[in-house]
């Protein structure tokens, strides 16, 4: 960004003194693709602050030089690695490449289906403005600590990208010793690194900060359910998801881990071409089976009419259609009619390893859903905390009896999702925070704050890394790409 902020005043004699400059009349630029607004109101306060604490600021920005050099080496190695991948596309080093693209940058290499919502655009714009402002503030304070006053501050909009810059006199910067100029050049990167550290620490201690007003890690509150979501028939905003398949869910991370585990299980079942039992059984009494609706056969597939689900009687082992199934063992039942029954079978993640999976009595059958390959059977229990009397129950239950079953409590309900896990996980917006008092006001605030901090972390990190490139190409401060060839500095 230095190429833009070092404005040439002509080929006059270079001043060897570093003094505050008098700022002439500045003009704003407005065009069809670019507009800016320049102002000088912060020139004097920033200069006075920088001169007053110049000793401390120089030490601070000296550390920034070391960080920037390290970042330069890291980015150079990454660029060389990516170039080697392009030249040798069929190498066997996919694991390290996945680590770089996934863990380091947090961005998937497959961007063909990349979409962003209007809310996401808002987070991106706010994060960009804050990150760029912190970046430019670093340059301004570093220059002030060396006795250089900026000429003006400009806020601009290039096409749809917002940004900001600070302008200095080029001749004055050229008169500085190289070590002083390097501190100014690296100050923006160093401030972006500091912003990343601030965001990371804030995310880590956010539950402690919000503790007086919000409860964290005691269930997932639903903030929004997409209208086309398969869960929209059951879940509403401000419901609290309590468990999946009998496993207590405390935060978003556990929600994603269990979803990934179920997806992996169903993926392993997808190799079969036939229906099979998921192993998630229920102990159904004979009296209910006497009124069953008989299953229909269509080729090699079982068909149940209406909204009925076909279940197979299983001795707690997986029963495949291609092996030893019989029509007499297939039953058509409503899923909601069996959710309150005792669970059996080895498909439940909560099943203990040291006890038998066959827990049904002699008057009961262990029935498991008969599903197509790749289709998941997920039982979700949720609570409506704003129902009268349920808020107090929810608090005492979570704090005193976290392992008991709440299926018979009127505040809770259960339903079964049958299908692919990925659409289900993506169609519901949840948070690990709940208001400490029975009110919906401010329920979205922790989620908004989390997303803003994560967005600022990624934008500021991107800005710091791109400004650490060996050849910096200056387009706009908003995307952190500087066009400044180092040969210009040498010249």
- pLDDT of 304 > 60? The answer is yes
* 127 and 195 together in one domain: yes
Is 423 within 8 Å of 429 (Cβ atoms)?
no
Indicate whether 446 belongs to any domain: no
* 99 and 159 together in one domain: yes
Q: Which of 372, 389, 406 is the last residue of a domain?
A: 372
How far apart are the C-alpha atoms of 269 and 271, rounded to whole Å? 5
Closest CA to 213 of 434, 368, 396, 36: 434
What is the structure's pLDDT at 131? 94
Indicate whether 442 belongs to any domain: no
How far apart are the C-alpha atoms of 435 and 445, rounded to whole Å? 10
Query: What's the rounded mean pLDDT across residues 7-33?
Result: 50
- pLDDT of 182 > 50? The answer is yes
421 band by pLDDT with thresholds 50, 70 and 90? confident
Q: What is the CATH number of the domain that holds 380?
A: 2.30.42
19 band by pLDDT with thresholds 50, 70 and 90? very low
Domain count, the chain: 3
- pLDDT of 270 > 90? The answer is no
* 95 and 225 together in one domain: no
* 342 and 385 together in one domain: no
- pLDDT of 445 > 60? The answer is yes
367-407 per-position pLDDT tens digit? 888 887 778 889 999 988 887 767 666 666 554 444 445 54
Indicate whether 447 belongs to any domain: no
State the catalytic residue, choosing from 2, 136, 266, 364.
136
Supply the mean pLDDT for the chain.
76
Query: What's the rounded mean pLDDT across residues 153-165?
Result: 81
Query: What's the rounded mean pLDDT across residues 452-464?
Result: 94
Q: Which of 345, 372, 399 is the last residue of a domain?
A: 372
427 band by pLDDT with thresholds 50, 70 and 90? confident
- pLDDT of 298 > 80? The answer is no
| Residues with Cβ within 8 Å of residue 471, at least 6 apart in sequence | 485, 486
* 284 and 171 together in one domain: no
* 354 and 412 together in one domain: no
What is the structure's pLDDT at 369? 86
Query: What domain range is 295 assigned to?
Result: 275-372
Indicate whether 63 belongs to any domain: yes
* 168 and 252 together in one domain: no
Query: What's the rounded mean pLDDT across residues 449-460?
Result: 95
* 400 and 366 together in one domain: no
- pLDDT of 408 > 70? The answer is no
* 240 and 287 together in one domain: no
| 3-state DSSP helix/strand/coil % of the chain, to nearest 5 | 40, 25, 35
* 11 and 97 together in one domain: yes
* 184 and 322 together in one domain: no
Among 85-89, 161-165, 441-445, 473-477, where is mean pLDDT lowest? Answer: 473-477
111 band by pLDDT with thresholds 50, 70 and 90? very low
Per-residue DSSP letters for 91-116?
-S-HHHHHIIIIIIT---S--TT---
Query: What's the rounded mean pLDDT across residues 22-30?
Result: 61
Instruction: Report how far apart, in Å, the C-alpha atoms of 331 and of each of 294, 298, 314 are.
Output: 6, 15, 12
Query: pTM of the predicted model, to two decimals?
Result: 0.75
136 as an active site residue: the answer is: yes
* 32 and 19 together in one domain: yes
**Highest mean pLDDT (candidates 5-9, 162-166, 197-201, 279-283):** 197-201
Torsion over CA: 198, 201, 203, 208 (sign): negative
Indicate whether 79 belongs to any domain: yes
Indicate whether 27 belongs to any domain: yes
Indicate whether 32 belongs to any domain: yes
- pLDDT of 39 > 60? The answer is yes
25 band by pLDDT with thresholds 50, 70 and 90? low
What is the structure's pLDDT at 71? 85
How far apart are the C-alpha atoms of 60 and 138, rounded to whole Å? 10
Q: How many CB atoms lie within 10 A of CB 7?
A: 13
Indicate whether 160 belongs to any domain: yes
Q: What angle do CA 56, 163, 148 make, to 5 degrees?
A: 35
């Amino acid at each position: 960004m230095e190429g833009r902020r070092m404005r040439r005043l002509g080929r006059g004699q270079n001043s060897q003194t570093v003094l505050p400059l008098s700022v002439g009349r500045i003009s704003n630029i407005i065009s069809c693709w670019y507009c800016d607004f320049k102002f000088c109101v912060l020139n004097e306060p920033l200069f006075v602050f920088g001169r007053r604490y110049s000793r401390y600021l120089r030490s601070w920005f000296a550390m920034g030089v070391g960080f920037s050099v390290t970042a330069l080496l890291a980015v150079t190695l990454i660029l060389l690695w990516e170039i080697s991948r392009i030249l040798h596309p069929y190498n066997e080093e996919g694991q390290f490449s996945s680590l770089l693209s996934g863990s380091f940058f947090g961005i998937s290499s497959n961007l063909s289906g990349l979409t962003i919502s209007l809310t996401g655009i808002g987070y991106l714009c706010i994060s960009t403005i804050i990150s760029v402002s912190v970046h430019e503030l670093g340059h301004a304070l570093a220059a002030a600590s060396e006795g250089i006053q900026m000429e003006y501050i400009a806020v601009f909009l290039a096409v749809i990208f917002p940004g900001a810059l600070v302008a200095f006199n080029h001749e004055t910067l050229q008169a500085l010793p190289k070590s002083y100029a390097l501190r100014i050049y690296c100050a923006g990167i160093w401030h972006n690194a500091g912003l990343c550290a601030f965001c990371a620490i804030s995310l880590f201690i956010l539950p402690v900060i919000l503790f007086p007003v919000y409860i964290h890690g005691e269930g997932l509150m639903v903030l929004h359910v997409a209208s086309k979501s398969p869960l929209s028939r059951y879940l509403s905003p401000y419901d609290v998801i309590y468990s999946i398949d009998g496993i207590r869910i405390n935060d978003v991370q556990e929600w994603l881990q269990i979803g990934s585990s179920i997806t992996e299980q169903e993926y392993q079942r997808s190799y079969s071409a036939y229906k099979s039992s998921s192993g998630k059984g229920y102990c159904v009494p004979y009296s209910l089976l006497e009124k069953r609706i008989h299953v229909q056969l269509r080729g090699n597939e079982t068909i149940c009419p209406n909204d009925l689900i076909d279940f197979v009687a299983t001795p707690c082992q997986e029963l495949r259609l291609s092996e030893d199934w019989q029509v007499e063992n297939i039953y058509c039942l409503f899923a909601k009619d069996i959710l309150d029954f005792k669970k059996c079978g080895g498909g439940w993640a909560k099943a203990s390893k040291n006890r038998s999976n066959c827990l049904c009595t002699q008057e009961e059958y262990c029935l498991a859903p008969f599903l197509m390959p790749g289709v998941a059977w997920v039982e979700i229990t949720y609570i409506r905390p704003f129902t009268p009397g349920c808020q107090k129950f929810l608090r005492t239950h979570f704090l005193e009896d976290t392992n008991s079953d709440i299926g018979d409590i009127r505040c809770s309900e259960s339903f079964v999702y049958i299908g692919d896990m990925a659409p289900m996980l993506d169609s519901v917006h949840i948070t690990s925070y709940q208001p400490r008092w029975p009110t919906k006001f401010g329920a979205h605030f922790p989620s908004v704050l989390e997303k803003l901090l994560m967005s600022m972390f990624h934008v500021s990190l991107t800005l710091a890394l791109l400004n650490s490139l060996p050849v910096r190409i200056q387009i706009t401060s908003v995307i952190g790409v500087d066009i400044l060839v180092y040969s210009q500095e040498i010249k």
